[in-house]
Structure 1
Amino acid sequence: MAQAAYEERPRRRGRRALVVLVVLLLLLVGLLVVADRVAVGVAERAIADQVRQEVAKQDAQSSPPEVEVGGFPFLTQVLDGRYQHISIVLREVRGSVQGDAISLPRLDIDARDVRASLDTLRSGQGEVVAERVTGTGTISYDSLAALLDRPGLKLSEQGGKLAVTAPVDFLGQTFTITGTADVTVGEQGKVSLRFADLTAEGLPDVPLARQLLTNYARSISIDVPLPELPFQLTVREVRPLPEGLTVTGDATNVPINAAG
């Protein structure tokens, strides 16, 4: 019996040691995770400040940038000086274009394969460069309609097209115009709206009425005056969506900070 008790005590001590080791490892992992998340917060604030300076440098305006650094663990990215993915949100983006330029209520920027040394993040001096940047912003249909400045005109998305409805007076009667626009990206990233084949139910099919529709379509066919986008973004695609007209731009090898 004494021999069995003697053998049991070392086994218990071994189990206690294993439990202590597991607890210590869990604490160590927890501390590393906390340190990793704290480092992310520091980096996000540093990058947000760098982005704010770069936006101002490019004669654009926005609310303070919201930055989120992706990828885990973060500390290994710091040591490597390369970050997988950085998301930046700019709100109320306004550019250097004056007059009737439309502001973007929100611009979502996705920066991939970002190069930034630890010294750059710590001191604010040096370059933060993204190999590829894409940006997506949505223009509300109300702001587009206000730009067209036609009483009663409404814009919406129908079947993937930009649709218009508007009242028009002809020979003392009011008719409702309907139709869609061709939405394209032209030279220098300009977004073009071209309305054609407008119709109005009940409108007499006479030359004067047809000319009225043609003139109206011509008057609301415009190049949308977008603000100059930050980070050298050039508009590549535009799509009517239920929430508004969405524009997408991209750029490569882009500095996303004001290098010191």
Structure 2
Amino acid sequence: MRALRILLIVAVVLGGIFVAADRIAVNMAESQAADKIKTSQGLSSTPEISIKGFPFLTQVMGKELDEVDVSLAGITATADGRSVNVTEVEAQLRAVRINSSFSSAVADQADGSARISYADLTKAAPEGATVSYAGAERAAKGQVKVTGPAVELLEGAGIPVPGSIKEELGDSTIDAYSTVVLRDGSTVQLKAVTLPKLPGPGMEDRLREIVDYDLEIAGMPSSVKLDKVEATDAGLRFSGTGQNVSLTS
């Protein structure tokens, strides 16, 4: 019985040592992978890497990782020189195959997502405009609400407003609804589908020139291809899926 207890104690101790060694190894691998991905993908900041699954060492011996989660910071979107943060940029990589020299890796599947809040969308909007949630019915159509004082919007864009029209508009507010479309994985386009009537010839066309604008998302890694955008109550959510994604090229 005493010998059995000793064997059990030794097994527990050795198991603890293995677990500790496994965790040390995975922490080192996460750090090195983060540096490698930052360099190869041309990122402005180092991503956070989390390698899932246990034990890690047996995954390495088999040269395939079950799942690797990547979180990115420092991603921005710009519109006419106005820059805002893109939040919650994440990628889930599955079945990551490592080459024999451990110098490159390819994921069978990569699911990426990102979000821009309405507060940040407003920062990138034309002067005087506020971008907000358009309600469940319009959000289901991929639409957001754009509002702002009529005169401030027009004059903020450098459009002269004659005194008579300015007097007629007064302090009235413009309410417009815009459809959001994602182009080429990095360009967010806002296109107005409804605009209020404005006094004066051509003023509605000038207004459309203001509320229709593009956001360029800069700094996304080349391995994350976003192809879908949804309007949620928390902001715009982008997502995309890729196969056979190289992490080091």
Q: TM-score, normalised on structure 2?
A: 0.78
Give me the whole-angstrom Cα distance separating, in 2, the residues matched to 1:137 and 1:29. 39
Deviation at 1:40, TM superposition (A): 0.7
Aligned to 1:226: 217
- Counterpart AA for 2:220: L
Give the paired residue count. Answer: 228
Deviation at 1:147, TM superposition (A): 2.7
Deviation, 1:86, is 0.7
Q: Contact between 1:156 and 1:163, CA under 8 Å: does it hold in 2?
A: yes
- 2:223–2:247: 8 Å Cα contact kept in structure 1? no
Match of 1:92 among 74, 84, 95: 74
Q: Is the 8 A contact 2:178 2:194 kept in 1?
A: no
Residue 115 in structure 1 maps to residue 91 in structure 2:
no
Separation of aligned partners in 2, 1:234 and 1:65: 17
Q: What is the percent sequence identity of the aligned residues?
A: 25
Shift of 1:145: 2.4
Aligned Cα root-mean-square deviation (Å): 3.0
1:25 aligns with 2:2: no
Structure 2 matches for 1:205-216, cutoff 5 A? 208=199, 212-213=203-204, 215-216=206-207
Any conservation in 1 of the 2:180–2:190 contact (CA below 8 Å)? yes
Aligned to 1:50: 36
The reply to whether residue 194 of structure 1 matches residue 228 of structure 2 is no
Please tell me whether residue 176 in structure 1 is matched to residue 173 in structure 2: yes
Cα distance in 1 between the residues matched to 2:2 and 2:203: 91
Per-residue CA shift, 1:215-239, capped at 9, x if unaligned?
A: 4244211232222531333221111
- Mapping 1:68-147, distance limit 5 Å: 68-94=50-76, 99=81, 103-117=85-99, 119-120=101-102, 126-147=103-124
Instruction: Decide which of 239, 253, 260 is 2:230's aligned counterpart.
Output: 239
Between the aligned partners of 1:87 and 1:119, the Cα distance in structure 2 is: 22
**Structure 1 gap segments, 5+ residues each:** 1-14, 121-125, 200-205
Secondary structure of the 1:208 match is coil
Q: Which residue of 2 aligns with 1:251?
A: 242
CA 185–84 in structure 1, closer or farther in 2 if over 3 Å, else same: same
The answer to whether the Cα contact below 8 Å between 1:103 and 1:226 also exists between their aligned partners in 2 is no
